[in-house]
Amino acid sequence: MVSTAHSTSMWQFSTRTLFILTAAVAGLAWVFFAPPQWVGLMVLWLLYWLLPAAALAGIVYHRGAWQAFFIGTAPWAVGVAIFLWIWAIDDGWRLVRDGLQLIDEGTEELIQIKLMLGFPLFMAACSGALTVAIWAWAAGVRQRQPRS
């Protein structure tokens, strides 16, 4: 007889998990689509500036699956940091001289810019998830090997 306790519990979530997921989706919807558009753009830029520090802290202070996740996001964090430094050196002086012209951009252009900025964050999350899957697979293989 097959136990159904595992199959039903696989689809049950705690209230805390559902609340966190709902808040994350609401936050992403606000960042990408809610007016004023330039505020969401500044939030994305702030997130990009904090990403390398968050990845490094996750690697140092977490263990297990979380550490694997942050190791997977680290290459994207380094790439984003390099891009931001190049952008700041190359185009940052123009923004200081001319003022924030992004505020005057049209709504559609700002949404396109935000979606382009969101792609590396999505890829970082996918890389972290893939690293966790590889970590879990390796842990399962290690447990199945006979001890000598």
d(CA 53, CA 144): 36
The confidence band for 135, taking pLDDT boundaries of 50, 70 and 90, is very high
What gap in Å lies between CA 59 and CA 73, rounded to an integer?
Answer: 10
Report yes or no on 5 lying in a domain: no
Residue 69 lies in a domain: yes
Query: What does the pLDDT look like over 54-64, one tens digit per residue?
Result: 999 999 999 99
Whole-model pTM? 0.71
Dihedral angle over CA of 132, 85, 46, 15, nearest 10: 0
Tens digit of pLDDT for each residue in 105-134?
567 777 887 888 888 889 999 999 999 999
Per the structure, the count of domains in the chain is 1
Q: Does residue 18 sit within a domain? A: no
- SS3 category, 87: helix
Whether the ω angle into residue 75 lies within 30 degrees of 0, i.e. cis, is: no
Q: Is residue 108 part of a domain?
A: yes
Q: pLDDT value at position 148?
A: 63
Domain coverage including residue 93: 35-144
